[in-house]
Structure 1
Amino acid sequence: MEAQKISLYEFLQRISSQSALRFKQVNNNLNVTMVERAEEIPKSQDDITVTGSVVDENGNPLPGATITVENTSIGTVSDIDGNFSIEVDEGVVLVVSFIGYQTKRITVTNQSRIDIQMELDESALEEVVVVGYGTVKKSDLTGAVSQVKSEEINAFPTSNVMQALSGRAAGVQVIQNTGAPGGGISVRIRGTNSIQGGNEPLYVIDGFPFSGNPTNLNNFDIESIEVLKDASATAIYGSRGANGVVLITTKGGKEGTTKVDFESSYSIQSLRKRLNLMNGREYAELQNMQASNDNIPPYFTQEELADFGEGYDWQDLVFQNAPILNTSLNISGGNSKTQYAISGSYFGQEGIIKGSDYNRYSIRTNITHKISEKIKIDFNNTLTHLKTERRDSGGGHRGTSMIGSSIMAAPISQPYNEDGSYNVLANEFPFVAPDIINPLNFINEQHNEIKANVVLSNLAFVYQPTKELTLRISGGIENRDDREDSYTTRNFFNSPGRASVNTGQFRSLLSENTLSYNKTIADRHQINSVIGFTFQDFLNTSLGASGVGFLSDAFETYSLGSAETPGIPGSGYSYSALLSYLGRVNYTYDNKYLFTVSFRSDGSSRYSPGNKWGYFPSGAVAWRISEEDFISTSSVLSDLKLRASWGMTGSQAISPYATLNQLSPGRTIFGNQLYNTFAPSTVLPGDLKWETTEQLDIGLDVGLLDDRIIFNADYYIKNTRDLLNTVRLPSSMGFTTTVQNVGQVQNKGVEFGVDAKVLTGQFKWDLYGNIAFNRNRVISLHNGEDILGAFVNVLVVGDNLTILREGRPIGQFYGYVEDGYNENGQIKFVDLNNDGNINDNDKTYIGDPNPRFIYGLNSSMTYNNFEFRFFIQGTHGNDIFNVSSIPSTLDFGQGLNMPREVFYDHWSPENPNAKYPRISRNTAARVSDRFVEDGSFLRFRNIELAYSLPLGNFGSNTFKRAQIYISAQNFITLTNYSWWDPEVNSRGAGTQQGIDHYSYPIPKSFTTGVRLGF
């Protein structure tokens, strides 16, 4: 018989009974390690050649499946198309195995071909979920945890990995604050908790608690994301778990042949929607109308009006179609001792506003090496370089931002003069406001570049003296260096040349030491426990300098000393540390009754003596009803689990030195001399303790038809007490404010998720949907006093937009209610207290930025080599306060362009019920319900059609997979919001969310890409 080949893995399993064999390593076309028999065995007359294929449960080929003759070392493996050939004796038993599938045994009779369809091994494929300081089987979860896998995370290109999480986890709201490249992302898990502190979750990357948003990561590098939502899951993170915890696990290497994955995509972005503004003639007629109503001569003659026509749309100047290039390469593999994964990626995005772009370069390495049977080391390292160029971040007063100018610049003006110089818009017509700046100034004469280098590195020593006991000692560092260079040239409108450089350095050192114990006793008692202590510190330093007035623009920010007026340099330093002790025990009895108890004690340098330590316990129970005898035989119900949990978590909502009596630098004059001084700051230090969040969660997990349909439901109540906030003090104290623990906020709601394998077989359809309802309410505040926020100063409006009031949701819009128009076409406001005056006492609730519910729907359909996916995400019941529309619809007499409907639907004696008031510069405006709009939307976040090439038809052994795809992002958005995009948060998503003030629009895009595996 010819020498037969078998994988090294199979050979090692049988080596004890094959003492006559020797092995050597060779490479076949699949780079599979094989061994050969040492001696030639004569071929039997009964030998036959058997060919066949190995496929999965859906008929797809399984390359690398092992086919051996039972009780021998004779065997082979399937090729890339699942095909195999083997010479055997008639009557032998072939053993077919593949990781994750049930082993099959087939007796060879006289057939020459055997096709084998493998069946999933459900026990081997029991999903494992990452939790704090460990992992558990998904079936053993007692807390509320959502998992999103790599395929969904990498479904479309994003500058921030958290964008890919939007709509994929129940109760998790991902808010894209701006559409700018590399723009900010806010994540809310089960609502807003804190007034003064942050409301972002804690991000933990490969076990390292990361500071801020994980912008250093590439989507393709992520293996899974777990979102810990209830206190049972988050209490292990103690003082940083109140806002939820997001665990990010990057891809690692696996034992076997070297695997190379490459992915690249190219996208074209465009403005989703243009604002329908007045054309040239309409604009000029409106200016004449304003002049007539205000009893001044008209600005334009009838002959001039006839010549204006369509005019110039400044949106054409500012906005552009812009590309995104996303490329990733991942190499992984290893042997029984060492597994590795190395990846490099580039993400480059130009903005749809000219002059804005974002670039991210990253290199990632994961290495696991087994020193001995009991000792191994894990090393994770990510190096990232970020570069962001910004032209406009929104906000501003009228034309002092590029976005504002693009809306309000006169359509009868042009960007350039005849000599090629920039047109000075404010000088062209006498009625144009002096702060309307030609957008060319922002595009060409203003530069703002931010460069950052981010290092995240973690090394762990793992010692396993026994099978049950594991000691893990790890240390890591997060380091970030930022430099921001801003320069405004002398060609900018009224600029002598302005330069500034600001640098920031952040460094965090982490030491974690844990001891884990896992034991199964008498097949009924399962114990999974961990104890440990951690230390992490946080160091921030900063330096800044500036200058005004330059002879030349040549040096930009690299010669601040040549400024005519150097600015006063500034620098900063802050340091804090956190020492923690933690423990958790998971106990399962008879696979039916599950118990979890955890505890964490945190000591922080930020808090006052006597309050530096916080204690955060939690407990959870679960009953797997489906394992009970009275229901375990059900042919419909495959899983039924009832969960309940309670726990306490915290929030570090103050700066490192808030409890200390800080001295502030200053200068004073004695005689004719100027002296430097230090004096107590204006903030009185407070005796502060932790913000504490207590949460109760009741959940239900249901599996139907052998888990073909999985349903999850959760109800929770979350109370946050001892809220930290600024409190005003009497001026007689010498301090103006202090920080105190002053209030309480409650969030409660329900979450539902359904995961269904609608169709299986050749046509496969998977569907996942979720919906979450959250109600937020302020329970108490300091002395019951309201807190006003979100101050704006636009047009004649200078007022607060939001309010915190006991019994009401956080950040409700607060203002006046309009009551039509008076006989002169001026806006009337409702006199709520009937005192005959319109003042602050007539304000009321005019909107709520908090959605009534959020939802997502993910569909994936596969037929042969085609795959069609779409992903829908949206919110309902949330309002937007459109600050942009205040000057854009009411600032008459300043020469601003406006939406076309202002021209056709304004007050006149013939149209007293118009949408807009009389066209007059005397128009009065207030923060009112006029500017509150429905912000609900339904968005097709991604639509994709992919085709996997039938590589077997090409006879190629190079590629293991090759897929090409086309997709569209944000292509369809259903909303009633009148402005560019409903997904806006100019001031972030804290207590001032839902505000649109010249926000950078979120684009739509079309993408083509390729995914290759070698």
Structure 2
Amino acid sequence: MQSFFGRANYNYKEKYLLEANLRSDISSRFAKGNRLGIFPSVSAGWRLDKENFLENVEAVSELKLRGSWGQLGNQNIGSGPGDELDSGVYPYQSTLAFDGFGYPFSDNVRPGVGLNNLVDQDITWETTTVTDFGLDFSLFDRKFYGSVDYYVKETVDILRELQIDLSSGLNPPVVNLGAMTNKGWDIVLGHQNRINDDFRYSINGNVSWFKNRLKTFGDKEIGERFIDEESYAYQDWYMWEADGFFQSEDEINNSPVQPEPGKVGFIKLKDQNGDNVVDGDDRIHIDGRYPAYVYGLNLTANYKNIDLRMFWEGVEGTKNYIARDPFRQDGGTDVAWLIEAWTPENPNSRLPAVYYETAEERRSIRYINSFWLWDSSYFRLKNITLGYSFPDEVLEKTPFNKLRFYLAAENYLTFQKDYPIDVNPEASGIDSYPFRKTISMGVNITF
């Protein structure tokens, strides 16, 4: 990599602010003629509180409109096995390999050399463009403050593997293909105040939400639980829709044919196209791949020598796929399978029936379907700290400049929906360890 940067700033009477940047990057990971990328950006601000029509309005401490537009490039396209793209360090170059190309000669297999990958020598920088419009304000001697941002983030010429037929016998080339957008809002609101010399406090919160869409992609790609398809979210949930449990043999016999033999108490899948057979054509997009919004809350208070700080965070409207087998190799069977599973006496259960059977047979409750998409919305007390600092008149009799004792807790409270299985709301897969709850005591000493 070789990069050059340039920046220019302009400020007129603290009212009109302008900044321009120009960045050029040269990468050896692209072929000659495609290595240079030019990425400009510009931002502007207007301090309305400095204008005559607001200068004498005491309620307005600060009011600024701003906007920005900028681009950045990406050249990270994998550098070997285990990376997102197994394309090698220089994906535009054709390379020969010895692996897998042996051929028989007489009575022995002799080493051979062959081509593994197709290449596109015209690949170049992937480019992301971000446009942002914002408002910053503070009112009543900065007791109330906040900011509002609306942004559009668009990535084009996405570096990815080309969709080719497997009959080619070669790995696909890396190409510039695809475009994706994210549009969203970020809002911060806060309040701070000093009641008297002994007590002051502050509270501020933030909320963010966005929409993700694949604008161009090519043919849709379907994975085990996800799909990439134009006009939908990237890696959108895609699976069969659960339609309750089979309550009887008659219901099994009168229902659409399932991908695995049905049993009483097992999950029933919905026939979306009405052909009386549940197959790959009945999988659908399901909402919840990304949160509807995320939010946070900070609280601080100081009374004389006592200080309190807490931080809350939350996520709303997201779903995680968490499928738990009632029989686990480590013996860690969830208690819920013993008391919440379907039985003839418990037909309105929250978990499918449990049978003694082989792992192969149990697939009929574990095939990918929406039953295992748990709503992982939550509100969590991330951390809280209560402290006490000794006053100066006490410290004068000690060798310390500052002495503070504190009690802190982390991840101590979490509010989420009631699930039959113990689910970590921040789980990223089928099984994951929950965050630890931590309580600590300590002392801060300054000499």
- The one of 875, 879, 883 aligned to 2:315: 875
Q: 1:838 aligns with which of 260, 270, 278?
A: 278
Change (3 A) 1:958 1:913: closer
Q: CA deviation at 1:801?
A: 1.1
- Which residue number in structure 2 is paired with residue 788 of structure 1? 222
- Paired residue secondary structure (1:591): coil
1:584 corresponds to: 7
Alignment of 1:443-462 (within 5 A): none
Q: Say whether residues 1:751 and 2:178 are aligned partners.
A: no
Q: How far apart, CA to CA, are the structure 2 residues paired with 1:865 and 1:912?
A: 59
**Aligned residue in 2 for 1:428:** none
Alignment of 1:820 with 2:272, yes or no, is no
Q: How far off is 1:878 after superposition? A: 0.9
State the TM-score, normalized to the length of structure 2.
Answer: 0.85
1:612 aligns with 2:8: no
- What is residue 641 of structure 1 aligned with on the other side? 64
Residue deviations 1:768-790 (CA, integer Å, cap 9, x gap): 211111111111102xx11234x
CA distance in 2, matches of 1:601, 1:836: 59
Separation (CA, whole Å) in 2 of partners of 1:909 and 1:765: 57
What is the CA distance between 1:589 and its match in structure 2?
Answer: 0.6
Q: Does 1:663 align with 2:96?
A: yes
Query: CA separation of 1:658/1:717 partners in 2, compared to 1, >3 Å: closer, same or farther?
Result: same
Match of 1:983 among 411, 420, 426: 426
**Structure 1 counterpart of 2:17:** 594
Give the Cα separation in 2 of the matches to 1:818 and 1:774.
28
Q: Give 2:189's aligned amino acid.
A: V
Q: Which residue of 2 aligns with 1:426?
A: none
Contact 1:876–1:936 (Cα < 8 Å) also in 2:
yes
1:651 is aligned to 74
| CA distance in 2 between partners of 1:909 and 1:895 (Å) | 29
1:665 deviation in Å? 3.3
Distance 1:954 1:624 in 2: 46
- 2:248 equivalent to 1:807: no
Alignment-derived partner of residue 1001 in structure 1: 434
Describe the shift of the 1:997–1:909 C-alpha distance in structure 2 as closer, same or farther (beyond 3 A).
closer
Look up the SS of the partner of 1:952 in the other structure: helix
Question: Which residue is 1:631 aligned to?
Answer: 54
Matching of residue 860 in structure 1 with residue 300 in structure 2: yes
Cα pair 2:395 2:401 within 8 Å, conserved: no
Q: CA deviation at 1:905?
A: 3.8
1:911-950, aligned counterparts within 5 Å?
911-920=346-355, 921=357, 922-923=361-362, 924-925=364-365, 926-950=367-391
For residue 81 of structure 2, what is the aligned residue in structure 1?
none
Q: Give distance in 1, aligned partners of 2:351 and 2:431.
A: 21
Look up the equivalent residue of 1:946 and give its one-letter code. G
Secondary structure (helix, strand or coil) at the match of 1:728 reads coil
- How far, CA to CA, are the matches of 2:336 and 2:408 in structure 1? 35
Cα distance in 1, alignment partners of residues 117 and 274 from structure 2: 40
Amino acid at match of 1:592: K
Residue type of the partner of 2:238?
Answer: Y
The letter for the 2-side match of 1:937 is: Y
Identity %, equivalent residues:
31
Of structures 1 and 2, the larger Rg is shown by 1
**Post-superposition shift, 1:863?**
1.1
Cα deviation digits, residues 533-589 of structure 1 (max 9, x gap): xxxxxxxxxxxxxxxxxxxxxxxxxxxxxxxxxxxxxxxxxxxxx111211111011
Instruction: Report 1:250-329 matches (<5 A).
Output: none
C-alpha distance in structure 2 between counterparts of 1:769 and 1:805, whole Å: 35
The 1:684–1:837 alpha-carbon spacing in structure 2 relative to 1, beyond 3 Å, is: farther
Is it true that 1:848 corresponds to 2:288 in the alignment? Answer: yes
- Higher RCO (CA < 8 A, seq sep 6+): 1
Q: State how 1:97-108 maps to structure 2 within 5 Å.
A: none
Q: Retained in 2: the 8 A contact 1:728–1:736?
A: no
Task: Output the amino acid matched with 1:931.
Answer: W
CA distance in 2, matches of 1:708, 1:1012: 32
CA deviations on 1:470-510 (whole Å, 9 max, x unpaired) are: xxxxxxxxxxxxxxxxxxxxxxxxxxxxxxxxxxxxxxxxx
Q: Spell out, residue by residue over 1:699-732, the C-alpha distance to the aligned partner (whole angstroms, 9 max, x if none).
A: 0010112223221110111111111222232345
AA aligned opposite 1:944: T
Q: Structure 2 counterpart of 1:773, which letter?
A: W
**Correspondence list, 1:359-758, <5 A:** 578-655=1-78, 656-666=89-99, 668=102, 670-673=105-108, 675-685=110-120, 687-758=122-193
SS in 2 for 1:646: strand
Distance 1:848 1:664, change over 3 A: farther
Q: Is the 8 A contact 1:661 1:685 kept in 2?
A: no
Is 1:829 aligned with 2:272? Answer: no
Q: 1:735-765: per-residue Cα shift (whole Å, max 9, x none)? A: 2322222211110111111232133532010
For residues 386-445 of structure 1, give each alpha carbon's deviation from its aligned partner in whole angstroms, at most 9, with x where no partner exists.
xxxxxxxxxxxxxxxxxxxxxxxxxxxxxxxxxxxxxxxxxxxxxxxxxxxxxxxxxxxx
Q: CA deviation at 1:828?
A: 2.0
Conservation of the 8 A alpha-carbon contact between 2:44 and 2:67? yes
1:625 and 1:641 in contact (8 A); partners too: yes
Q: Aligned residues, how many?
A: 410
Distance 1:772 1:908 in 2: 43
Aligned partners of 1:940 and 1:969 also within 8 Å: yes
Within 1, Cα distance between the matches of 2:172 and 2:401? Answer: 65
CA distance in 1, matches of 2:380, 2:178: 37
Deviations 1:6-30 (A, max 9, x none): xxxxxxxxxxxxxxxxxxxxxxxxx
| Partners of 1:895 and 1:699 in 2: CA distance | 52
| Corresponding residue SS for 1:856 | strand
Structure 2 Cα separation of the partners of residues 901 and 1003 of structure 1: 22
How far apart are 1:980 and its partner, in Å? 4.2
Do the aligned partners of residues 710 and 936 (structure 1) sit closer, same or farther apart at CA in structure 2, a change above 3 Å counting? Answer: same
- The answer on whether the counterparts of 2:95 and 2:117 sit within 8 Å (CA) in structure 1 is no
Q: Taking structure 1 as the reference length, what is the TM-score of the superposition?
A: 0.39
Name the aligned partner's letter for residue 662 of structure 1: T
1:683 CA displacement: 4.6
What SS is found at the alignment partner of 1:971?
strand
